[in-house]
Structure 1
Amino acid sequence: MLGKNLLKHQSKPERVADQAWEYLTNAVNSAGDSVKHAARGTARSARRTGSHLTSNAGDRMGAVTDEARVRASRAYDALAGRKPGLPWAWLVGAGLVGAALAWAASSASRAALARAEQERSATDQLEYVDVDRANSPVRVDTA
């Protein structure tokens, strides 16, 4: 009752200011609730994005860390005077690639030679003539 009595005795600008203040506090409160809900969604989204970025960064850092370890061990071996070993995997791989290329080239050349032989035999068919026959078109003088 006391609040109602005080409002009745206020001037018109004071009442308008009070109403404006109530509207403002209600708007801020409702905006705060919606911001809380939006903030929760944004926080979830930020958390997901952050975890995705950190996992990608972890993958990249893992590869970089492995490379750094390899380089550090090679540098330590070089400082200790140890010679690096032969890259056997690369040598074996190069040998296998060379063997495959040689096999392919030999197969292709054999196929080309067989084709050429077939073409030559088809075009160069010889006709044999028997010279010992009496009525042979070719006469051989033996005298």
Structure 2
Amino acid sequence: MKTFHSLDDLEKAVGTHLGYSGWTTVTQHQIDLFAEATGDRQWIHTDPEKAARGPYGATIAHGYLTLSLIPGFLDETVRLDGLSMAVNYGSDKVRYPSVVPVGSRLRGSVELADLQRTSTGARAVFGVTVERDGGDKPACVAEVISLLVV
């Protein structure tokens, strides 16, 4: 984990790679819970028998499930002391270059793309690449924006 002691320290890291999260395994139970929470119960996600005969040979995680793992990857990778809170502001340029078959191990590779000061702290843009263990392409690439309030 990379720790920053102030916004000034974090600002000096703009344009650099901050590190990697740990690996997490995507389970069918997790996919099923996400399907239930979102109402997206498409068979490619929730029917292992049918999905085994489908194009990927197994169920796959929802793209939005993969995207939703990013805050946890950030939390494992970057720490900024002195904040009263950090709030998700949004995402830009989200892409899913490859699928995430059930049982895949994923981790986040985090860069600090930009930091703009605000009246309450800063707006940080993190470039996050979600890597799949053994995959030749990322599972997700996104710019996520956080409001950092001091």
TM (norm. structure 2) is 0.18
- Between Structure 1 and Structure 2, the one with more strand by share is 2
Higher normalized contact order (CA 8 Å, seq sep 6+, divided by chain length): 2
